[in-house]
Amino acid sequence: MAASLGGFFLPATALASSATYTVRAGDSLYAIAAKFHVTVHQLELWNHLSSDVIHPGQVLVVSQGGSQARPSSASSSSRTGASTYVVQPGDSLWSISEKFHITVSQLEAWNGLVSSSTIHPGESLRVAKPSSSPPSSSHHADTQQVSLTSRGSSPGSSNASLTQSALGFAVADYARTFLGDPYEWGANGPSAFDCSGLIQYVFAHFYIQLPRTSYAQYEVGVPVSESSLQPGDIVFFDTYGSGPSHDGIYLGNGQFINAASTSVEIDSLSDPYWADHYIGARRVVGQNG
């Protein structure tokens, strides 16, 4: 006997003994795995998935026992007095700071990180201010101050810049979760995309609303020189005649992700084809209006 939830069927025994989660727009297997402290492989195994493509309304088993799955949140961590957090697949400094209602600069200072630092699944991060200041904390503060000074900005504006940078990395990381999804002209997700549809879908996950076409997206945000590109910037190309007829999301190290002729793929700006058709970039992260 099976039960139907949201049009997707699950065995009654699974529903009885396991916790479930209904997929929402913008969700990915990586984000759901991080939320319930499980692995993507476990989600695929428990739900008999052959790929990481999921759809809003789909019901997923998120544990093999109802008591095992507890969504991580800032409120539950506050109740338990947790001061550390174990990084999960798909996490970024920005998403962790949002989860615990702190700033990215605080995370960096408490953990001896800088804006260019990377984090890895399984790594333990301090997510609450130490009750007492150990000797190393002053070193962290000094490191943060050096970073601020080197940017030539006031602490307030530098903190904003760090947060913007972290959000850009989060945008780039989320875009990677769609790698390999099929290209389809006019499609805007979640199972297929055209170039501007992918851009709009990814940024909507971070509550940044963009126009639908690459031409309109080229008019949003502020222009960025190629030498100043940062992860999360939108790069544009004139692949179908003059004008920004194609776009992608910059990932760093000269690479960008885009919905090309057959699928979502990662390409290089130094590739002769893309270099020849590159026309500019725009930064929408941290911009108003």
Tell me the C-alpha distance between 133 and 102, whole Å: 18
Catalytic annotation on 253? no
Q: In the chain, which residue ranges form alpha helices assigned H by DSSP?
A: 12-17, 29-35, 40-46, 74-80, 93-99, 104-111, 135-150, 155-176, 195-204, 214-217, 272-277
User: Choosing from 47, 159, 205, 258, which is the catalytic residue?
Assistant: 258
Relative to beta strand 278-283, strand 222-224 is antiparallel
Q: CB neighbours (10 Å) of residue 252?
A: 15
Query: What's the burial of 76, exposed, middle or buried (CB within 10 Å: 0-12/13-18/19+)?
Result: exposed
Cβ atoms of residues 102 and 78 within 8 Å: no
Cβ atoms of residues 94 and 167 within 8 Å: yes
Q: How far is CA 48 from CA 11, 33, 172, 181, in A?
A: 12, 15, 28, 19
Q: Show the tokens assigned to 60.
A: 């997923």
User: Choosing from 140, 159, 195, 205, which is the catalytic residue?
Assistant: 195
User: Choosing from 246, 253, 277, 288, which is the catalytic residue?
Assistant: 246
Tell me the CA end-to-end span of the chain in Å, nearest whole number: 52
Q: Show the tokens assigned to 31.
A: 């984000």
Catalytic annotation on 246? yes
Active-site residue list: 195, 246, 258
